[in-house]
Amino acid sequence: MSLFGSTHRHPHPDHTPGAKGPVVAVVAAGGAVGALLRYGAGRLWRNGSDAHAVWRTGEAAFPWTPLVVNVVGCFLMGALIVALKERFTHAPRLLNPFLGTGVLGGFTTFSSYTDDTRRLLENGEPATAVGYLVLTVAGALAGVALGTACARAALTRGRHPESRPEESA
């Protein structure tokens, strides 16, 4: 008898012996794709260089790229979850770990978020650091909520309740 009881009453297909190998492989492949996308975003929009009129550049530059990447990634995660759970319910079982954990997990960069906050604090920018902390969390949560809402709206667009024959006559 377990001290805390059973946590899984129904076996999950990913929890069977030998099932982890394919999941690990698709998460790794997706993570590589996501990391390359994040790298590309950083190359296209370097931190501070495009916003030099508003924010400082260099070590005290506002980390725009990680902020945008994290908010966009959270928006896409919200949309992905709705799409897979409400529309594409019979999608291949490895699609969610590939796209969600892999691609979007590799694309978003919450580890850079904490490092950028530390860098701002060390460079005498405590107000900017706190603003970045708050803006990233609020933006990420809003991104998930907006992605979820947009996906639901897109999935329900064009669906009309069945017309009743007596209403047509």
Which H/E stretch holds residue 74?
helix 64-82
Please tell me whether 101 is known to bind a ligand.
no
| Residue 136 is labelled as binding a ligand | no
Question: Using an 8 Å Cβ cutoff, are 128 and 62 in contact?
Answer: yes
**How many CB atoms are located within 10 Å of the residue 149 CB?**
13
- Contact assessment for residue 66 and residue 133, using Cβ atoms and an 8 Å cutoff: no
Given 3-state DSSP classes, what are the helix, strand and coil percentages for the chain, each rounded to the nearest 5?
A: 70, 0, 30
Count CB atoms within 10 A of the CB of residue 140: 21
Q: Which of 23, 5, 4 is nearest to 14 (CA)?
A: 23
Annotated binding site for Na(+): 105, 108
Annotated binding site: 105, 108
